[in-house]
Structure 1
């Protein structure tokens, strides 16, 4: 294994864990990326797109952005897209603390505002997709959950995202529509962690995004509920002010907003912006 591939493998493993570990790795620069550096990230003298692109993205975007990353690299030989997926609030905190990244895709306008208020965004952060909540249940829905109100039953173990992250704030907003009170068995730091509790049968249900239910396949069942329409999250996307590779970053953002990118997002369960 070459030095370049070894570094890339270690970085990929670390970034898949998300959260603080990924932010720390990026901030410390554990492996120097192959290819052009920040000084020549625009690629060839003709302004071609090349070099590494680092994207901080909400956990709910993992499946769709992974597909887009692969298509981006194929369309632009010489580029390498590295993702850090996690809770939007943790990613925003990493960016405002100086973790190097080119693009930030948040799960809500509130978490994007953390970055824009810190003046770490170049230009405008605009929505590129929307996401709606759904209840994830055990396969076959053995507890016969049919509504959000059912989650208040004392015999059920329910998991929510922490209210500091977009999926948790949206769940709280949906519960407030009908004045429902729910005490979960745990609050998770991102939507994938909440879903995993159900997939591992450590919880009976979780309030997550429809996209995550679809991505889980037969590991969970999904139950839609009308209150979710009152808590739809806009997902904004932005070029970061200190992006090491702004040229490639702009091209990745353009892909996410393009007809091709929107098709991938719609197939994943996202709504149009």
Structure 2
């Protein structure tokens, strides 16, 4: 079976899983609504039985699609709440939080960037909720016949990486170093979405991004797996921030993310279980 055929089959399987996850989440939400007077919803119960107000979540760019889905589900389960997201490079988000930016929840793409916040005393104890691995994103149809990480070093090939300070960039560097490969990209991008966009716009031939981002891009790009990614898997921690303005609702959102329903949405998007 060709690599393209394997990818197409995997895409169909993941898409099916995603649809199933959303149906399950919706069904569970209906069940939760019906029983909220006695036990509360599975991911968002409060002592008063009702949550309200805005929850501000700072989250790694690679979480955009799945967290947006979970945010909508949270608002559906709790009328009167609103989840506002700020997505970006985890290092930039961490710097904003330690600089005083108002936020309730931080979900990072690596323990290293989370440590910036915890070391500053700005959060509680974080916990890992998913993991993610790298994949090469190529132009649709893979015209340059990229089949391995080593192929990215071909002369004339325009490759984009995430900045080394960003978790996806640090992971890419780890994979390259483990393979004893040297690669000079045409640019370093501030987050994984920016790196992927370069390929989508045909401004680059390939980018090293997360598998979840290749999946989210659909047929705009083609993904190429490489074995070195097994040695550069990122843990994603999440935490309630110390100065959270809506701590009860924020904790309920974290609980939803960590719940079976939340995990279904995340794994359907391509994330690995913690």
Coarse TM-score class (shorter-chain normalised):
0.7 to 0.9
CA RMSD of aligned residues (A): 1.3
- Ranked by relative contact order (alpha carbons within 8 Å, sequence separation 6 or more), the top structure is 2
Matches within 5 A, 1:1-273: 46=48, 48-122=50-124, 124-273=125-274
Q: CA deviation at 1:155?
A: 1.9
The alignment partner of 1:242 has SS state of coil
Aligned counterparts of 1:198 and 1:173: Cα–Cα separation in 2: 22
> Tell me, which stretches of 5 or more residues in structure 2 are unaligned?
1-45
Provide TM-score, normalisation by structure 1.
0.83
Gaps of 5+ in 1: 1-43
Q: Distance in 1 between matches of 2:209 and 2:102?
A: 29
Secondary structure at the aligned position of 1:48 is classed as: coil
* CA distance in 2 between partners of 1:153 and 1:143 (Å): 10
| 2-structure distance, mates of 1:236, 1:264 | 17
Residue 45 of structure 1: how far off its partner (Å): 9.3
CA distance in structure 2 between the partners assigned to 1:140 and 1:190 by the alignment:
24
Distance 1:50 1:133 in 2: 38
* CA displacement at 1:178 relative to structure 2: 1.2
What is the rounded CA distance, in whole Å, between the counterparts of 2:49 and 2:58 in structure 1? Answer: 24
Match of 2:31 in 1: none
Moved segments of 4+, more than 6 Å: none
**Residue 233 of structure 1: CA displacement?**
0.2
CA shift at 1:48, angstroms? Answer: 2.2
Distance 1:237 1:45, change over 3 A: closer
CA distance in structure 2 between the partners assigned to 1:195 and 1:47 by the alignment: 42
- TM-superposed deviation, 1:46: 3.1
- Equivalent position SS for 1:121: coil
Q: Distance in 1 between matches of 2:189 and 2:54?
A: 31
Aligned residues: 230
